[in-house]
């Protein structure tokens, strides 16, 4: 009986497919309402009725928006079918009317008295069909207008998500979180391409041409086809000439590419000025500024991964042509990009489209010694550029709080730790970059310039701020990660703060800090007895990467008998025991005392302010000093 009832229902809807869709939609909506009501009365049911949580930046398509678009298309198609059915009935009625008119004239000629009821009925039916057809045709045009407007809004949201994905990819260079999964965006692109195709078909099947809708749909199609090209795997942002590298572009509409001739992508290197001139779609750089080896790749479909990519393998820059530099501008400040282009045909589209995309900025170097300065250019670009800037503009000055967050994020991501830079570290970095060791105020809104970051050397030093900071990152990443994560390294701290926190500690108390006198060094500061019976702060010669490759930090600490307790008062053997590997004589350890300093009131104020100061690092765990 149940199967018979289902069969009857299906037969009833066979001639009204759109009505079936609406009925199912209404049933699902009612079901959702009932589940929602039930979840308020029975909280345990809530977890079954709620969708799974998604990341705030998730790229999944808005299912409701796309579903509504599909329903609009179905409604438009249903209107067209109704118009077609009415037209057939109208043609039949007119044929009957013409036939009856002939019969009527013949009977009148023969003197017979025909009945006019059938003729009148036919006339009424014809007028009704004509009226109904006009009403439905008008409704169909209105639905088309609404559908195209809805498609524009939905595609605008898609384009914004694509831009956000690219921006997040760019920010990942400085350690920001980034989900590189493009599958949700690909699904979204494919859905909107399908809707666009159906709407273009419906516009063409309209009784009269609608140029305005055709033009809008054409623009949407071109934008979608162009925006679906992504640089899935960016090239290295510092590229040394003659060195091999790879990069991958992915086409999100790859499954819709028309079969036939393989799609060949070409890459070329362009300058910042050329990148700015690419605003007009289809425009190509007129001058070749560099020679790229292996600069072509075929678009290939990966069935298992459902992705369509072109991978440029073993690329290299054979030579590069530099632009005229301004003033003291260095070659490591000059930004380039890779420019990818091809011509592609999409199934269901009449004409081929030229699509193009540029990579994130890259700096081209010719020697490994330029790597550090080139990376500084990239860090500044990634951290302080705006999402939709003119390529590749960046501000010359930024607030220290932004710089501080960038340094913290870069440090944590490169080292691979969850422990961030604490208030002491942040304040000392500010003092160092601004060359204001005696100021105890708030640096948050002070402006730091590119020159202070990596153009001018630090006072009394042969290196820039970034060169020094990057040296600490490299040292920590390769030799000190566990010590830092365990909270055993105090880190960035000035000698003023050092004296303040160690001045009342017993002899033998020590802490580990990064050297501020040389690149990539860590030193031990400790309390020692002075010649007059008092105390003084001593610093052991900094250990560099080379030193720690010979003997680890833990063993070096074990070697030194006159340091006994880690600040504030922890026995060193309890804290560092797991890092000991063996004891050897320490006759090569050199000690040098810093100049004696007087601790004034401003330094004490600074110490107090740091204990309650604001953390500019952006928030993380293990930020406070301790073990």
pLDDT at position 623, please?
Answer: 39
Same domain, 134 and 269: no
Asked if pLDDT for residue 44 goes beyond 80, the answer is: no
Residues 80/205, Cβ–Cβ less than 8 Å: yes
Share of the chain above pLDDT 90, in %: 62
342 within some domain = yes
Same domain, 332 and 350: yes
Same domain, 260 and 123: no
Hey, what are 345's tokens?
A: 């045909």
Ramachandran sector of residue 53 (left: φ over 0; alpha: ψ -120 to 50; beta: rest): beta
619 within some domain = no
Same domain, 440 and 518: yes
Give the global pTM.
0.81
Asked if pLDDT for residue 10 goes beyond 90, the answer is: no
Asked if pLDDT for residue 221 goes beyond 50, the answer is: yes
Lowest mean pLDDT among 101-105, 256-260, 272-276, 387-391: 101-105
Handedness of CA 402, 408, 411, 414 (dihedral sign): negative
195 within some domain = yes
618 within some domain = no
pLDDT at position 109, please?
Answer: 54
Share of the chain above pLDDT 70, in %: 78
364 within some domain = yes
Same domain, 44 and 59: no
Same domain, 2 and 41: yes
pLDDT at position 606, please?
Answer: 46
Same domain, 309 and 405: no
Cα distance between residue 235 and residue 175, in whole Å: 17
Query: Dihedral angle at the C-alpha atoms of 251, 255, 256, 257, nearest 10 degrees?
Result: 70
Q: Mark which of 177, 200, 222 sits at the end of a domain.
A: 222
Same domain, 606 and 479: yes
Same domain, 359 and 260: yes
Asked if pLDDT for residue 475 goes beyond 90, the answer is: yes
627 within some domain = no
pLDDT at position 205, please?
Answer: 87
Same domain, 406 and 466: yes
Question: CATH number for the domain including 350?
Answer: 2.60.40.630
Question: CATH number for the domain including 207?
Answer: 1.20.1050
Same domain, 95 and 159: yes
Instruction: Give the structural domain span for 515.
Output: 399-611
238 within some domain = yes
Q: Mark which of 203, 222, 241 sits at the end of a domain.
A: 222
Ramachandran sector of residue 624 (left: φ over 0; alpha: ψ -120 to 50; beta: rest): beta
Residue whose C-alpha is closest to residue 305's, from 166, 182, 161:
182
pLDDT digits (tens, 9 = 90+) for 154-174: 999 999 999 999 999 999 999
Query: Number of folded domains in the chain?
Result: 4
Q: Mark which of 353, 368, 394 sits at the end of a domain.
A: 394
Cα distance between residue 549 and residue 556, in whole Å: 12
pLDDT digits (tens, 9 = 90+) for 364-415: 999 999 999 999 999 999 999 999 899 999 999 999 999 999 999 999 999 9
Cα distance between residue 538 and residue 516, in whole Å: 15
Question: Which of 207 and 447 is assigned the larger pLDDT?
Answer: 447
621 within some domain = no
Same domain, 57 and 45: no
pLDDT at position 95, please?
Answer: 72
Handedness of CA 427, 430, 436, 437 (dihedral sign): positive
């Amino acid at each position: 009986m149940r199967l018979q009832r289902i069969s009857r229902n299906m037969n009833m809807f066979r001639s009204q497919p759109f009505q079936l869709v609406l009925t199912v939609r209404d049933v699902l909506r009612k079901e959702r309402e009932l589940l929602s009501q039930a979840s308020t009365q029975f909280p345990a049911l809530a977890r079954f009725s709620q969708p799974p949580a998604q990341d705030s930046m998730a790229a999944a398509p808005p299912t409701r928006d796309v579903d509504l678009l599909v329903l609009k298309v179905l409604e438009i198609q249903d209107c067209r079918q109704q118009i077609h059915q009415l037209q057939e009935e109208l043609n039949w009625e007119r044929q009957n009317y013409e036939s009856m008119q002939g019969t009527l004239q013949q009977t009148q000629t023969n003197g017979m008295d025909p009945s006019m009821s059938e003729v009148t009925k036919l006339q009424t039916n014809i007028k009704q069909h004509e009226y109904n057809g006009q009403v439905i045709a008008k409704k169909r045009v209105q639905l088309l207008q609404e559908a195209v407007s809805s498609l524009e809004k939905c595609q605008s949201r898609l384009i914004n998500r694509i831009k956000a994905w690219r921006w997040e990819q760019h920010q990942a260079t400085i350690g920001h979180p980034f989900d590189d999964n493009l599958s949700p965006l690909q699904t979204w692109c494919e859905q909107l391409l399908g809707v666009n195709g159906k709407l273009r078909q419906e516009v063409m099947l309209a009784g009269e041409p609608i140029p305005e809708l055709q033009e809008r749909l054409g623009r949407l199609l071109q934008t979608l086809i162009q925006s679906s090209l992504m640089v899935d795997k960016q090239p290295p942002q510092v590229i040394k000439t003659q060195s091999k590298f790879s990069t991958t572009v992915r086409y999100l509409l790859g499954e819709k590419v028309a079969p036939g001739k393989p799609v060949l992508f070409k890459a070329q290197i362009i300058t910042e000025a050329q990148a700015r001139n690419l605003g007009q779609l289809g425009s190509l750089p007129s001058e070749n500024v560099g020679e790229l080896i292996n600069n072509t790749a075929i678009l290939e479909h990966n069935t298992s991964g459902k992705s369509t990519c072109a991978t440029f393998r073993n690329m290299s820059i054979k030579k590069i042509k530099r632009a005229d530099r301004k003033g003291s501008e260095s070659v490591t400040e000059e930004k380039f990009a890779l420019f990818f282009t091809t011509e592609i045909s999409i199934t269901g589209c009449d004409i081929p489209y030229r699509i193009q995309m540029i990579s994130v900025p890259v700096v081209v170097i010719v020697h490994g010694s330029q790597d550090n300065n080139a990376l500084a250019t990239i860090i500044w670009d990634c951290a302080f550029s705006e999402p939709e800037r003119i390529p590749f503009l960046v501000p010359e000055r930024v607030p220290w709080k932004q710089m501080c967050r960038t340094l913290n994020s870069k440090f944590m991501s490169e080292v691979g730790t969850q422990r961030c830079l604490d208030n002491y570290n942040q304040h000392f970095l500010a003092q160092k970059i601004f060359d204001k060791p005696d100021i105890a105020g708030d640096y948050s809104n002070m402006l730091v310039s590119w020159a202070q970051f990596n153009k001018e050397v630090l006072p009394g030093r042969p290196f820039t701020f970034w060169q020094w900071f990057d040296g600490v990152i490299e040292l920590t990443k390769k030799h000190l990660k566990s010590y830092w994560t365990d909270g055993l390294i105090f880190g960035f701290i000035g000698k003023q703060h050092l004296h303040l926190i160690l001045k009342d500690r017993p002899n033998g108390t020590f802490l580990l800090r990064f050297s501020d006198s040389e690149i990539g060094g860590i030193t031990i500061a400790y309390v020692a007895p002075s010649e007059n019976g008092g105390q003084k702060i001593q610093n052991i010669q900094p250990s560099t990467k080379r030193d720690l490759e010979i003997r680890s930090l833990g063993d070096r600490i074990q070697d030194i008998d006159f340091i006994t307790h880690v600040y504030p008062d922890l026995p060193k053997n309890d804290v560092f025991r797991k890092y000991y590997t063996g004891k050897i004589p320490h006759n090569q350890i050199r000690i040098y005392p810093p100049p004696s300093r007087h601790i004034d009131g401003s330094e004490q104020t600074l110490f107090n302010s740091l204990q309650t100061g604001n953390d500019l690092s952006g928030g993380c765990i293990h930020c406070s000093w301790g073990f």
